Amino acid sequence: MSGRWARAMLSAYRFAGAAAYPLVGPYVAWRTSRGKEDRSRRRERYGVAGRPRPDGPVIWIHAASVGETLAVVPLVESILDYGVNIVLTTGTVTSAQVVDERLGDRIIHQYVPLDLKPAVSRFLDHWQPDLAIIAESEIWPMTILELGARRVPQVLVNGRLSDRSFTSWKKRANIAEALFENLAHVVAQSDVDGERFRSLGARPVTVSGNLKSDTSPPPVDERVLATLRRQIGARPTWAAISTHDGEEVVAAEVHATLHKRHHGLLTIVVPRHPDRAEALAAQIFGMGLKVARRSKGDRIAADTDILLGDTIGEMGLYLRLTEIAFVGRSLTSEGGQNPLEPAMLDTAVLAGRNVQNFREAYQRLLDSGGAKLVRDRDMLAGAVNFLLTNEVARHEMMAAGVATVDEMRGALARTLKSLEPYIQPLVVKSRLKGANGR
């Protein structure tokens, strides 16, 4: 299918809006984050560069939000060892903060341009990337077609297709094929994802495993950790992390059910979107529970019921304060969140049944005994109660989770092997330019 035909088929994208097509990223990200973006760098969304292009080959790597950014950091660091310039784009302010903390000035960070032709063309005209590496699950019609027209190799890494996205693409099989044939390589997370990409026309497809299993545990400020541990003392704890609407109330209700049975119980609630904290604190307070907000620096007193983790970048702190973690977007919402971070930090993992977006990770943890799925609030309360009461069973789950993550490692090496044919020519080009420049 020709690029002209694909453009004609996709022209409706400009008018119907990104919601009409599955996995379309930058436009949606901008529309849903207006008012939260970095206004001083807003022009980058329209492809206006905030930095000059460096000399030599440039690799463009994109990771949409915090989870994808954390997953690609080890990959970025490995590519930097080759001595090639990297422009790393993200779609959110929080992911930009992660880039700054983890990679600093070793790369050039830009906000990803909107998936509209003027913005994409402006971005590509300036940066002239020699290779584009896209993380996980964002497929942007205009960006893919523009890169294809410029004959820039495009590789999708850590690729996944959720049940919903795959179903949507299958209904638009012709459009999917016109897009996916522009990808030079797809490196999928799992065999299921790999087969889905192949059925949509992607070639070649390899399977690497999940890059998130090769990341380091989330960091922590040891002084802050020691302070909070002193405030908590010997109190029993459990956490509900990456929660979505409705799950915070469920966690508070579980606390109300269990606190008499487990004297001094402290429940740690970490909402996926901390900007909801004000309303959540009022809602939980209205249930007769005392809340300490991390963002306010509230002290955890003896009668504090809920520690509300309403900060960004401190998941490593919250997980080190407990040995039991319910992972959200799985009980009242669908898709799930990444269970590998709590598992690698010696935490028994609980979740609802709606974990389709992390199916393989959960299946591995369930098979090893490192995780347990719950049906509803009452079943969650029962599972937390069991783990608080049975130290041996809790520690067995914790150990199984750590072992499972260790077994899953290796995705980074397999991804780098798939990328080698595209990166090595740029390494040679960069070295030749350096030699000629001396």
Q: Which residues are identified as catalytic?
A: 68
Residue 353's alpha-carbon distances to 271, 324, 325, 402, 409, in angstroms, are 19, 17, 15, 21, 25
Question: Which tokens hold the place of 107?
Answer: 């790369």
Strand order in the sheet with 58-62: 108-111, 85-90, 58-62, 131-135, 154-159, 185-188, 205-207
Q: Distance (Å, rounded) from C-alpha 295 to C-alpha 430?
A: 45
Cross-strand bridge partners of residue 207: 188
One-letter amino acid identity for 352?
Answer: G
Distance CA 308, CA 331 (A): 19
Return the residue matching tokens 């097509």. 21
CA distances in angstroms from 280 to 293, 316, 388, listed in the order given: 10, 22, 25
Count of CB atoms situated within 10 Å of the CB of 324: 23
The string of DSSP codes covering 224-258 is HHHHHHHHHTT--EEEEEEE-TTHHHHHHHHHHHH
Closest of 167, 166, 218 to residue 193, by C-alpha:
166
d(Cα 292, Cα 82) in Å, to the nearest integer? Answer: 47
Both tokens of residue 223?
């002084």
Q: What is the largest CA-CA distance in the chain?
A: 74
List of residues 6+ apart from 239 with CB closer than 8 A: 267, 268, 269, 270, 318, 319, 321, 322, 324, 325, 326, 347
Q: Are strands 58-62 and 85-90 parallel, antiparallel or unpaired?
A: parallel
